[in-house]
């Protein structure tokens, strides 16, 4: 059990790294330099490495390795000259990378467990997500709230509760290579979906701004806050409603 917990923690850190790498790759696609790469929570103690010729960005590392952040050299407010698909990719690169990685890992797990149909479906989803990331980003930004709510309903009503994936005990059964693949895929999907929550410092906040076309203009703050509140209330209502149905059923 202890080994399973250790492996699960390592896979969770790997899922965070995939998410941050997705942002870095999106910035590279857009020709935007990285200004700061932070690995860990923004709490002391921290080690700061200044930019060098070989590494033209600052690096900040802390012992609290449960999160990270890649800061681009161009802020969302200054990125207004980008086309809408590029601006959407700017905001959602990490989310798309997490979802694509999760689908790919679950595709491999499905193949190893003999489920060829699901393996093909998950693999196709992975290819579409990453291969068409600009188009996916353009669609995902204005529809992130619907995707978030749909995923929440799917997860609360069953989701990946199949075979060895029944509950935390099943997910922690990573003594086999296939089990580790499944857990890594679930963690990546969770990282992508969780990041779509419309909090100001989350990808979801940036995606909501881009999806509503609010990176320009004076009306941004009021419209953003109203839309964000509606999404968060809907997420809470769906969670409570589904939980109540589960208890009554």
Question: What is the tens place of the pLDDT at every residue in 165-197?
Answer: 444 445 555 567 888 888 899 899 999 999 998
pLDDT of residue 101: 97
pLDDT of residue 225: 81
Q: The tokens of 211 are what?
A: 């999806």
**CA proximity to 35, closest of 51, 53, 21, 18:** 51
Q: Which of 105-114, 167-176, 237-246 has the lowest mean pLDDT?
A: 167-176
E strand residue ranges, the chain: 34-39, 47-49, 58-61, 68-72
CA distances to 7, 124, 187 from 115, in Å = 25, 14, 20
**CA proximity to 95, closest of 21, 183, 10:** 21
Q: The tokens of 13 are what?
A: 């850190």
What is the mean predicted confidence (pLDDT) over 183-212? 88
pLDDT of residue 171: 52
Q: Where are the domains of the chain?
A: 2-32+74-248
pLDDT of residue 195: 92
Q: Please give the DSSP secondary-structure letter assigned to residue 214.
A: -
Most confident residue range from 5-14, 76-85, 141-150, 152-161:
141-150
Q: The tokens of 220 are what?
A: 């941004």
Cis amide bond preceding 45, omega within 30: yes
Q: Beta 34-39 vs 58-61: how paired, if at all?
A: parallel
% of the chain surpassing 90 pLDDT:
30
* Residue that wins the pLDDT comparison between 132 and 163: 132
pLDDT of residue 8: 80
Residue 102 pLDDT greater than 70, yes or no: yes
pLDDT of residue 245: 61
**CA proximity to 122, closest of 137, 139, 109, 135:** 109
* Residue that wins the pLDDT comparison between 132 and 222: 132
Give the distance from CA 119 to its chain's centroid.
21
Q: The tokens of 151 are what?
A: 């995923």
Edge-to-edge strands of the sheet including 58-61? 47-49, 58-61, 34-39, 68-72
């Amino acid at each position: 059990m202890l080994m399973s917990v250790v492996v699960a923690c390592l896979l969770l850190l790997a899922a965070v790294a995939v998410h941050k790498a997705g942002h870095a790759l999106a910035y590279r696609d857009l020709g935007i330099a990285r200004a700061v790469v932070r690995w860990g929570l923004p709490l002391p103690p921290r080690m700061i490495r200044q930019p060098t010729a070989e590494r033209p960005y600052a690096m900040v590392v802390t012992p609290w390795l449960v999160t990270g952040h890649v800061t681009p050299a161009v802020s969302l407010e200054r990125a207004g000259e980008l086309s809408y698909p590029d601006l959407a990719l700017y905001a959602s690169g990490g989310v798309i990378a997490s979802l694509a990685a999760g689908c790919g890992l679950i595709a491999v797990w499905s193949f190893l467990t003999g489920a060829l149909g699901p393996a093909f479906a998950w693999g196709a989803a992975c290819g579409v997500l990453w291969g068409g990331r600009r188009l996916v980003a353009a669609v995902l930004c204005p529809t992130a709230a619907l995707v978030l709510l749909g995923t929440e309903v799917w997860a609360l009503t069953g989701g990946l509760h199949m075979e060895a994936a029944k509950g935390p005990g099943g997910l922690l059964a990573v003594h086999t290579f296939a089990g580790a693949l499944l857990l890594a895929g679930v963690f990546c999907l969770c990282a992508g979906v969780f990041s779509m929550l419309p909090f100001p410092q989350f990808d979801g906040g940036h995606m909501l701004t881009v999806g509503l076309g609010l990176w320009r203009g004076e009306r941004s703050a009021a419209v953003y806050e109203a839309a964000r509140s509606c999404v968060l209330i809907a997420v809470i209502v769906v969670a409570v409603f589904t939980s109540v149905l589960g208890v009554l059923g």
